[in-house]
Amino acid sequence: METRGYAALEVNTPLVPYTFNRRALRDGDVAFDITYAGICHSDIHTARGEWGDVIVPLVPGHEIVGIVTEVGPSVTKFAVGDRVGVGVFIDSCGTCENCQAGEQQYCLKGMTGTYNGLERDGVTPALGGYSNKFVIDQNYALKVPDSLDMSGVAPLLCAGITLYSPLRHWKAGPGKKVGIVGLGGLGHMGVKFAAAMGAEVTVFSHSAEKEADAMRMGAKHFVITKDPSALASLAESFDLILNTVSAELDINLYLNLLKMDGTVVVIGLPGKPYAVSAFNLLRLRRSLTGSMIGGIPQTQEMLDFCAEHNIVSDVEVIKADYINEAYERTVASDVKYRFVIDASTF
Ligand code: NAP
Ligand code: ZN
C-alpha cells in the first residue's frame, strides 16, 4: 500500500518527505486513512538519538487517528468508515501474563513499538504515524468515540493514556492532592483527567505564562518552579506527583513535597539518570516509581472517559512541512499544548 509520510533519513537530521509501502492486509487487520498524527516529545528524543539506537529511515508518530478503509475477513471490531486510533505499540506476544492481563505495554517479550523497530515477523519495518495510511491488527487498534474532535483525540493515544493510567493506578480522586510537573503535551492531559476525577490539582511549571491555561484546564494552584521557596512552602502536602518533564530536573525537590506514603511517578524520560536522596525517600515512607503508557483495555476506557467528560487535547494543527519547526518549538516548551499534523498534507 503506497504511503506518503515524513522520515528522518539519518539520526538527528531534519525530517523530509518519504514515500514507502505498507504491508498487505492480513486476515485480522484493518487499514485506515490517517487523519491526524500528534507530535510526542518521545518522537523528538528518538529522532535525535537521545535514547540510543535509531533504525533509519525513521517515520515517527504514535498518536494516530483515522478512518477505516478496509478490513480483513476475520475482523469483527471495525467496519469500513469507523473511526480508529493507534498508540505507542502495534503488537505484543499476546500470551505472557501481562498481555493476558491487558497490560501489553509491559509484555514480557517486549511490546512492538509503532516505530523504530521491526514488526514481530522480524522483517517488516515498523513505520509510524507521520504518514497518510496505516495497517494494524484489530486487537491493537482503539475505537474512537464519534462525539470527540478528531484532531484533539490524536494526542490521547499517547499523552492521554500515559497520564490516565497512573492517575487510576494511584487512585487520584476526591480528597487527593495531585501535582503535575510540566504543562506540556502529557502534563496538560494529566490536569484535565485529575480534575475530572475530582482531585485537587497543582501544576508545577517553569513557564509563568501558562498559569491561566492551567486554571482553565482544571488546576486549583499553579507553582512557578523557578522559585525554590514556592516549592519549599508546600513540603509534605501531596499524595501523588506525576513528573512529565522531558529535561533533567531535581526529583528530590518533589519527593520532599509528598506526605506520608505519598508517591512520585517518573513519566518524563530524559536520557540521563535521576539522582535521588535516600533521606528524602525514607522519610514518611515515600515511593518513587515509574509508569509507561497503558494497555489496550485501559486505553479504550480512557477514550470512553473522554467522551463522557468531553475531554480532548488542546492542539495546534499543522501541515507536514512544519514538522521540523514544531520540533524546535516543542523543545522550547512553546506549544499549546500538542502539535498535531493534518495527514492530508503528506
Ligand atoms: P512536552 O510537550 O515537551 O512537555 C514537557 C514539559 O516539560 C514542557 O512543556 C515544560 O513544561 C517542561 N520542561 C521542558 N523543558 C524543561 C526544562 N528545561 N526545565 C523544566 N521544565 C521543562 O513533552 P511531552 O510530549 O509531554 O513528553 C514529556 C516527557 O514524557 C518526554 O520525556 C517524553 O519522552 C516522555 N514520555 C513518556 C511516556 C511514558 O510512557 N512514560 C510516554 C510519552 C512520553 P512547563 O513549560 O510547564 O515547565
Ligand atoms: Zn508519546
176 and 252 assigned to the same domain: yes
Pocket of ligand 1 contains residue 253 by CB under 6 Å: no
Domain residues for 84? Answer: 2-157+313-345
As a 3-state breakdown, the chain gives helix, strand, coil percent values, each rounded to 5, of 30, 30, 40
- Cβ-count burial 252-290 (b if 16+ within 10 Å, e if not): bbbbbbbeeebbbbbbbebeeeeeeeeebbeeeebebee
Does 189 score more than 90 pLDDT?
yes
Q: Which ligand places an atom closest to the C-alpha of 246?
A: 1
Per residue in 153-187, pLDDT tens? Answer: 999 999 999 999 999 999 999 999 999 999 999 99
81 and 197 assigned to the same domain: no
Q: Rounded CA gap, 265 and 285, in Å?
A: 15
Per residue in 192-223, pLDDT tens? Answer: 999 999 999 999 999 999 999 999 999 999 99
Helices (H) and strands (E) in the chain, counts: 11, 19
Q: Rounded CA gap, 77 and 143, in Å?
A: 8
Look at residue 307 and tell me if it is in a domain.
no
User: Which residues are bridge partners to 242 per DSSP?
Assistant: 180, 265
Pocket of ligand 1 contains residue 244 by CB under 6 Å: yes
177 and 318 assigned to the same domain: no
Structurally, the chain folds into a number of domains equal to: 2
284 and 337 assigned to the same domain: no
Grid coordinates representing 226?
523557578
Q: What is the dihedral of CA 221, 304, 146, 64, to 10 degrees?
A: 80
Does 90 score more than 80 pLDDT?
yes
Cα angle 331, 41, 118 (rounded to 5 degrees) comes to: 140
- Cβ-count burial 23-33 (b if 16+ within 10 Å, e if not): eebeebbbbbe
Cβ atoms of residues 268 and 244 within 8 Å: yes
CATH number at residue 280: 3.40.50.720
The ligand 1 atom at the shortest distance from the C-alpha of residue 105 is: 40
Pairing mode, if any, of strands 2-7 and 16-21? antiparallel
Q: Which ligand places an atom closest to the C-alpha of 157?
A: 2
pLDDT at 156: 98
Q: Which ligand places an atom closest to the C-alpha of 214?
A: 1
Q: Rounded CA gap, 296 and 103, in Å?
A: 7
Banded pLDDT at 5 (limits 50, 70, 90):
very high
Give, for ligand 1, the residue of 244, 316, 331 to mutate: max count of ligand atoms closer than 8 Å to Cβ.
Answer: 244
For residue 342, the CA-to-ligand 2 centroid distance in Å is 17
pLDDT at 288: 97
pLDDT at 227: 86
pLDDT over 70 percentage in the chain: 100
Grid coordinates representing 224?
512557578
Banded pLDDT at 66 (limits 50, 70, 90):
very high
Pocket of ligand 1 contains residue 111 by CB under 6 Å: no
Banded pLDDT at 256 (limits 50, 70, 90):
very high
Look at residue 24 and tell me if it is in a domain.
yes
- pTM of the predicted model, to two decimals? 0.98
113-117, 143-147, 273-277, 315-319: segment of lowest average pLDDT: 273-277
Q: Rounded CA gap, 141 and 204, in Å?
A: 33
Banded pLDDT at 113 (limits 50, 70, 90):
very high
Cβ atoms of residues 219 and 194 within 8 Å: no
Look at residue 139 and tell me if it is in a domain.
yes
Mean pLDDT of the chain: 97
182 and 266 assigned to the same domain: yes
Does 272 score more than 90 pLDDT?
no
pLDDT at 123: 95
Does 271 score more than 80 pLDDT?
no
Pocket of ligand 1 contains residue 186 by CB under 6 Å: yes
For residue 73, the CA-to-ligand 2 centroid distance in Å is 31
DSSP single-letter state for residue 101: T
Look at residue 15 and tell me if it is in a domain.
yes
Grid coordinates representing 273?
539518570
168 phi and psi, to 5 degrees? Answer: -70, -45
Taken as a whole, the chain contains a residue count of 346
322 and 246 assigned to the same domain: no
